[in-house]
Structure 1
Amino acid sequence: MRLVIARCSVDYAGRLSAHLPLATRLLMVKGDGSLLVHSDGGSYKPLNWMSPPCTLQSLEPDDDQREAGIVELWQVTHTKTADRLIVSIHEVLHDSAHDLGADPGLVKDGVESHLQKLLAEQIELLGDGYRLVRREYMTAIGPVDILATDATGRSVAVELKRRGDIDGVEQLTRYLELMNRDPLLAPVTGVFAAQEIKPQARTLAEDRGIRCVVLDYDAMRGVDGGHARLF
């Protein structure tokens, strides 16, 4: 991972356009090729970013750009959509690279792990005709909690959380983008399943064509007679 703290402006050009004026920011270049632009606020969320597959080029600024104070240009291009993220660097305050090694991935807590096991055993909670393919279906960017098929035989990727928020939807979106490039799996639809799903996460999921399922953990354990609720 490369970490650069720089005075820079950022422009996104593609399906949407966005501009970040000149300010000091953290530029994070990850080993998967992604670039994230962070400020000193906003918690974990980047101000702008480019997800893989993409390529980063370091360009020499032209005379006009140098007169404007730009010392280096980064152009990050998405290889599928041709969207571009252009970082105009005016001053580099810090530049370091770190080898983080292989990440073991997120270890789910007891409830999430048990939810996964219970849903695999009660896959019909997702709907009539659903069949389990396997738990922990491995992809190049991590394991999908459950891979199933629906009544038509179409592949379904299921992401499980205790409390479903936007991060979980983003995680499932990344899995779906990758899996839908596999001709043996595509087309793959998504199900976001949790004991509780925040309204913002549900809105984002539905906007991306991902179905939300609220699970009754006690009912699945046989504690009472509740049922999963579909939204």
Structure 2
Amino acid sequence: MGPVRVVIARCSVDYHGALEAHLPLATRLLMVKADGSVLVHSDGGSYKPLNWMAPPCAMATTEPDEVEAEQGVQQVWQVSHAKRDDTLRVKIHEVLSDTSHDLGIDPGLVKDGVEAQLQALLAEHIGTLGDGYTLLRREYPTAIGPVDILCRDAGGATVAVEIKRRGDIDGVEQLTRYLELLNRDPHLAPVEGVFAAQLIKPQARVLAGDRGIRCVTLDYEALRGLDDAEARLF
């Protein structure tokens, strides 16, 4: 794992692949992370990048062609996905800042005891979400963190589950980010979302509904009871 590179530059960006997107010339924050992902941020939009390329991908820095050079482009970042034809082309006109930092190994988000147990119990009894559900994996890794549970419903559709003790808007936003990333993978898409918690706040339910995410209220004691009952011989 290498260092994280943080660049502030005047640039334009073009994404080619399943979606076509263009960002006109403006000053933006560019991040090249140690895992190979490349993210393009503006000053607005909070944590969400305007565009990005998730690993596995490779980035090459090239000279601009004649037309680009005449337009004032100094260098070009060409980011290509290893498994798809998706490309992210960043045309840099001026670099205002370019720094690299070694962040070391991150311990990751540590869930509290109840959330960790809820995840384990729900994975063991995935049918709680509905008849025909099957578990694919707990802690499914992504470029922005692990998805609590990845499973399939009775129809074979992929479902990402985010588990909280108390479900609020931040949890829905977190699941939304996972879904946006997972739906870029043709082997998983389309991916649906389930927001599961012991208590889900009304605002979180409204936001989840607006984004097509299903809310499920988890009964911790009932899940523990299922586990204890199955552990008994008679």
Same fold (TM over 0.5): yes
Q: What is the count of residue pairs matched by the alignment?
A: 209
Aligned pairs for 1:1-231 within 5 A: 1-120=4-123, 122-128=125-131, 136-137=138-139, 139=141, 144-146=147-149, 158-161=161-164, 162-163=167-168, 164-171=171-178, 192-195=194-197, 196=200, 198-202=205-209, 204=211, 212-216=214-218, 219-221=219-221
Task: Give the 3-state SS of the residue equivalent to 2:40 in structure 1.
Answer: strand
Distance 2:142 2:13 in 1: 29
Per-residue CA shift, 1:102-155, capped at 9, x if unaligned? Answer: 111111134423432443565442234657788x55658665534678779999
Distance 1:16 1:148 in 2: 26
Contact 1:159–1:172 at 8 Å: present in 2 too? no
- How large is the RMSD of aligned CA atoms in angstroms? 3.5
Q: 1:46 to 1:189 in 2, by over 3 A?
A: closer
Task: Give the 3-state SS of the residue equivalent to 2:119 in structure 1.
Answer: helix
Normalised by the size of structure 1, how large is the TM-score? 0.71
Distance 2:25 2:119 in 1: 46
Task: Give the 3-state SS of the residue equivalent to 1:221 in structure 2.
Answer: helix
Q: 1:204 to 1:121 in 2, by over 3 A?
A: same
For structure 1, which runs of at least 5 residues remain unmatched after alignment?
207-211, 223-231
Which one is further off, 148-157 or 45-54?
A: 148-157
Task: Give the 3-state SS of the residue equivalent to 2:31 in structure 1.
Answer: strand
Distance 1:3 1:52 in 2: 17
Distance 1:33 1:158 in 2: 25
The residue type equivalent to 2:128 in the other structure is: L
For structure 2, which runs of at least 5 residues remain unmatched after alignment?
223-234
